[in-house]
A = this chain, B = another copy of it.
Amino acid sequence: MATLKDVAKEAGLTTSTVSRILNNRGYISDNARQKVDVAMKKLNYQPNEVARSLHRKATNTIGLIVPHIRHPYFSEMISNLEDQAYDRGYRILLCNSQSIQEKQTEYINICTGNQVAGIILCSGSVPMDLFEEVGIPVITMERFLDNGTASVECDNRQGGMMAAEKLISCGCKHLLHIGNIGTITMPADQRTEGFREACEKKNIPFVELLTEETQYNSMKYGDLIVKALKEYPETDGMFANSDVIAAQTLQVCRKMGILVPEQMKIIGFDDVNIASLTTPQLTTVHQPVKEMAEIAVRLLHDAVTGKMVARRTVLPVHLVERETTGVRITQ
């Protein structure tokens, strides 16, 4: 296998110049850079990333901590983050915390031990003090972290208001909202706040239900929804905190003989793939996942390179109207 020395010899440069080029240190002429490029290709030289990063003190790896790879919102988000990271020359070290405390702690240690350039955190229940001394940028997505570098969110409050206003404008009189995990505080709680505000403004009664972490992890909300619809049989409009919950509500309604959208209107959140594969298709609040991912990676890169970054970035959402609020699809 070719070594740095071989490349230097082939390029007619000193090894220290080649090393400087590979590590982007000091002034380097375009001519020298090109010579090294040609020599590397000719010799099929693979720089040893591990040795290089030891030298640089930070790798070009981003530690990505998510609670739940298989949840469609996160698989969509991871996919977009990977795209953006790749375009900027970063790779992703994927950490699936599953909201398990011990695993989160260990993964943060793995990230710092591997000298990642920064962390993108999508996991909700990581205790803040774990990040006190990491000394690298931490970008949070749809999560709060007082000592984080920057946060990227969608306008959850606006989304909750839109959902309530739409249900009310459809003539719903008894609203039900299935919200966030009760024990964890996060930006998504503002969906509930926005929903509540819009209902109160219009004087429409509503019920709010919180969910549990076990339901979130298993993605199984069936029992909760059945119980809710039995307890509140007058419900004619429902706003669910995710498309996963909304899709399961459709299944429950079908089993209970409740017609959607005739007897019940449903609005989800996220606008993942599944929203247009249910029957009827889901009306939902669209999160700009692609743009959120783009901004998160840019913020991380800016923070790594010492630029000033916005502490908080909130992107707008919009309502995608489909059949569960009465829109008819045509081919």
Contact = CB atoms under 8 A, between A and B. Distances in A.
29 contacts: A46-B113, A49-B114, A50-B113, A50-B115, A51-B54, A54-B54, A61-B93, A69-B79, A69-B82, A70-B72, A70-B75, A70-B78, A75-B75, A78-B94, A79-B96, A82-B94, A86-B96, A91-B93, A91-B95, A91-B110, A92-B94, A93-B94, A94-B94, A226-B331, A250-B277, A251-B276, A254-B279, A256-B331, A274-B274
Given A86-B96, A278-B279, 11 more contacts: A50-B115, A78-B94, A91-B95, A91-B110, A92-B93, A94-B94, A219-B273, A244-B273, A250-B279, A251-B281, A255-B329
A53 interface: yes
What's the dominant secondary structure at chain A's contact region?
helix
- Sort chain A's interface into a size bin: 35 or more
A256 to B, nearest CB: 7
B78 A113 contact: no
Interface of A: 46-51, 53-54, 59, 61, 64, 68-70, 72, 74-76, 78-79, 82-83, 86, 91-96, 103, 107, 109-110, 112-115, 219, 226, 244, 247-248, 250-251, 254-256, 273-274, 276-279, 281, 329-331
